[in-house]
Amino acid sequence: MTEAERPEAEIRATYPSVRAARVALLALERRGVEAADIGLEGPGADLAKVPQTGEAEERADLEIMGHVGRRAGVGAAIYGSAGAVVGAVVGALLGGALPAVAGALAVGAFAAGVGFLFGGFSGLAADDAFADTFTEMDDAETIVVVHHPADPDSLVEVLRTTNPSSLRT
């Protein structure tokens, strides 16, 4: 069988809700799977694509903002703390207490800004399927499909950690 005749490989993991599928999407993207190679199918995916208006849209937007905000805050805290320590050490080595405090404040503030941006942006997946998981249609079965996986065995293990109700390769 030639490469052209071989059927496209895919992994299909079924979840009870779009929220549960979101966990799988994030796990796959953290493992390096391109957003274009991940899709959503099933009733949950179909309902998630229905445009939301009014209060439903507002709730979904607030949930996405909360998700990004939490990650941005954690990134700012971690990077800012590390930057403050580095700035204080460098400042102390260069000239005593005042440079240490100034270094801690300056480097800590800069690092906190970088951490805020990195934490927030890294919390957003780069595909429309991720945005579709912020929906009120939470109890509809949703299937996460990974198309032509490079390392199917390791991705199956990643998906197993997200507790799918079924998993097929």
Tell me if 11 sits within 8 A of 147, measured CB to CB.
no
For residue 22, what is the enclosing H or E element? helix 18-30
Q: What is the pLDDT averaged over residues 44-61?
A: 64
The pLDDT of residue 71: 83
CB neighbours of 94 closer than 8 A, spacing ≥ 6? 103
Residue-wise pLDDT tens digits, 59-108: 766 777 777 788 888 888 888 888 888 888 888 888 877 788 888 888 88
Residue 54 in this model has a pLDDT that exceeds 70: no
